Amino acid sequence: MACSGCWGDESDEGRASKISQSGPISSILSGSLHEWPPTDTCCLEPVTSPGWAVKEQESTDPWPLSCHPVVGIEAVVRSLQGSLEMNNTELHKQGLLLFTEILTRQPEEIKLFTNSAMCRDAGRALQEAVSSPVLEVAAEAVKATSAFLRKDHQSAPPVQYGELQSLLEAMLNRCAEFSQTLLNRRPLGHASSRNSEKAILQRGKFLLSTLEGFRSACRLAIEFQSEPSAQENPFTAPSAKKEDTLEAFSEFLLSACDSLCIPMVMRHLEQTTHPALMEVFLSILHSLFVIVPHMKEKFSKKLAASSFIRLTLELKARFCSGLSHSALNQVCSNFLYYMCLNLLSAPEKTGPPSEEELSAVSELLQHGLPQISSRSPESLAFLSDRQYMEGAARQRQYCILLLFYLAYIHEDRFVSEAELFEAVQSFLLSLQDQGERPPLVVFKASIYLLAICQDKDNTLHEVWTTMPGLLLLLYLFTLVFPERP
């Protein structure tokens, strides 16, 4: 196949002719607009001998019931590179669509990229495509990137983390650029409201696809953690700076999420909230605790200080009541579970809890968080309820109190001090009425909230002089100094 540099100033038709001469897949790409039926596809596997094998597909799925050549991926990648040189948007879209289907449907046991050069060329073609000024082309390229970031597509050693990082940077920057362009073009007047809604929807779709691609990269990083051969490039000189490594790639993912993904999602949330997008987003945040474990406490503190406890609780309250959006509820609960454990493991002003304390709080969070789907006023009312509480309901109260505590300790105070003080007081009196001893972590959180609320609201000082206040002080004293045999 002639290199793209030999084409000079040829017309699109001339370039298409040269692409067509390189093989059957190139013909599919160049003739896709008029000749490629929507049901056609190819299943690829590497070939080392001339000629074409033919496989017949018999399936009940929407894909085809016809024969197609089984060819090498190199022809497809070169054809895609060639098509991107042409000024033909529809050809770009169809080529990327075909490439996405190949990447998605290829069986894991049959590797497409048997050497790093082919994998690198594919990544660079996608990098060029995601940077396209044409939104439809960039959108198809983002979907192809998500399919490309599969372990079996990247496992030919060495894994080229630097190339993957460049691809992800291009994808995220294109999404940020598109989002900013729409914000700058915000129309005025009543007649423009429909166009504004359409633009928000369009931006949401592109952002969702971008986040799905980023989530694929996070999944890839987690999968490579268990493979020693994928930790770093074995061909890097020992004296060279270790940049093309899994560790460097993992830290890039955390940095990119912090500087690009989170700001883009938060700006989008100012206009609309889509449960599918938030499900992907929170699963990314959760995965980063695993990808960069030495940064999980610091990252959790930054998220808590940025109101992510409140945000996640609001999502659960809005979308996850009853049995609706069970997948989102599970993702929200998992995210809160790990973030809370990270925060409790590295407290700001007290010593870390013991293994026994962490184990106890882990169990109650695991069981209680999925049951919480109430708004803040409802949660306060439930915490204030002094009726007899059974085990599951009491665990839910423990979870609510811990969430308020962790939010407050990181300056995210989304309920008033007076209301929270009253709720915590009622909660402790309920424990006293039933003769219960809460887990030590819950007790410490209760004391902190009572103290901080009283400090912020001077009118609460007189509460301690009332009979309920004195009884509560006596109960707290017995918790601090339990009777010894």
* CATH code: domain of residue 109: 1.25.40
Q: Has residue 266 been placed in a domain?
A: yes
Choose between 94 and 454: higher pLDDT.
Answer: 94
Best CA proximity match to 270, nearest among 186, 177, 209, 171 = 186
Number of domains in the chain: 1
Choose between 377 and 71: higher pLDDT.
Answer: 377
Residue 315's contacts (CB-CB under 8 Å, 6 or more residues apart) are 273, 275, 278, 282, 328, 332
Choose between 459 and 46: higher pLDDT.
Answer: 459
- Measured distance CA(66)–CA(54) in Å, rounded: 10
Does pLDDT of 11 surpass 70? no
Q: Has residue 385 been placed in a domain?
A: no
Q: Average pLDDT, stretch 44-72?
A: 38
- Measured distance CA(141)–CA(210) in Å, rounded: 10
Range of the domain at 103: 71-182+198-230+244-272
List, in sequence order, the alpha helices (H) in 21-154. Answer: 24-30, 32-35, 73-84, 89-105, 116-130, 135-148, 151-154
Does pLDDT of 41 surpass 70? no
Q: Average pLDDT, stretch 219-235?
A: 85
> CA neighbours within 13 Å on the CB side: how many for 322?
3
- Measured distance CA(209)–CA(149) in Å, rounded: 13
Q: Has residue 117 been placed in a domain?
A: yes
Q: What's residue 458's pLDDT? A: 53
- Measured distance CA(453)–CA(405) in Å, rounded: 11
Q: Has residue 156 been placed in a domain?
A: yes
Best CA proximity match to 96, nearest among 148, 53, 133 = 148
Count Cβ atoms below 10 Å from residue 434 Cβ, excluding itself: 11
Does pLDDT of 277 surpass 80? yes
Q: Has residue 387 been placed in a domain?
A: no
Q: Has residue 24 been placed in a domain?
A: no
Residue 235's pLDDT band (cuts 50, 70, 90): low
Q: Has residue 405 been placed in a domain?
A: no
| CB 206 within 8 Å of CB 294 | no
Query: Global pTM?
Result: 0.82
Q: Has residue 173 been placed in a domain?
A: yes
Q: Is 52 helix (H, G, I), strand (E, B) or coil?
A: coil
Pick the range with the lowest mean pLDDT from 111-115, 131-135, 228-232, 437-441. Answer: 228-232
Q: What's residue 7's pLDDT? A: 37
Choose between 408 and 388: higher pLDDT.
Answer: 408
Best CA proximity match to 32, nearest among 67, 78, 83, 105 = 83
Q: Average pLDDT, stretch 405-431?
A: 90
